[in-house]
Amino acid sequence: MSARRAVATIGMVVAMIALVAIVRVAYMPGRRHPVPVPDLSNTSPAGSANNSGTVQTPAIDNAGNPAATQENGKKTTYIKRISLEAGKYYLTVDYVDWLGGKAAVQAALEDGDCAIEGLSTAAALAKLAMLDANADLSEFGNCTPNGFYIRNVNSKLRKLEVVSGINVEYEPYWKNCATDCRASLDLSELARILSGEKLPYFNHESQFKDNPYDIEVASGRIEKIAWRYLP
């Protein structure tokens, strides 16, 4: 065999080996690159139901404001803002838990807002758990000196429409009722109080500015607002 034929033969063999290697790599399991499939598990639109059937409503809308939500029932809340939009009043509220009895003591202990002399928090909670609902709680009196405890573990804000014509109801507990015995404020007056304004005809702004309020909600609209007295 001449040198020229030998070189040509070697070149053909090398080319065939390279071709076989390319084919093996192309069909080797685990080395292929399939078209990626998008993950649709978390793409439910705001306000739609997830797999559990719970309606997912955003706490904040696209403008950075609390989003309107659908709520029902009686709630104790702090009113953060009152707004008038297109002739309708809206309240931005922060729901809280108003607790009494054993539930109030337990929450205060768990939150670290009180302590029982001679007992650790765990021991105090264990002792409280052994008491029935109507038991004397005087030993735990420093946990709820006024007989209640306000708990706020969720800072979510909700924006709720107020039914037209609704006023803020309250009990005029103050003794000097001769000057002002009204039992309600309209929302424009409450808005002024919450903003820090002092009404010339009303001398109880401090009791209304930071107090909680009870509201009744149906289909996402507030049907009743009542000021809650703090003893």
pTM tops 0.85, yes or no: no
**Per-residue pLDDT reduced to its tens digit, 8-43:** 555 565 556 545 444 444 443 433 333 333 332 333
Q: How confident is the model at residue 215 (pLDDT cuts 50, 70, 90)?
A: very high
**Per-residue pLDDT reduced to its tens digit, 129-159:** 999 988 999 999 889 988 899 999 888 999 9
pLDDT at 77 over 60: yes
Instruction: Tell me the DSSP string of the chain.
Output: --HHHHHHHHHHHHHHHHHHHHHHHHT-TT---PPPPP--TT-PPTTSB-TTS-B---SB-TTSSBPB----EEEEEEEEEEEEETTEEEEEEEEEEEEEHHHHHHHHHHTTS---TT--HHHHHHHHHTS-TTS--GGGTTT-TTSEEEE------EEEEEPTT--EE----SS-TTS----EE-HHHHHHHHTTPPPTT---HHHHHS--EEEEEETTEEEEEEE----
Distance CA 63, CA 86 (A): 17
Higher pLDDT, 203 or 181: 203
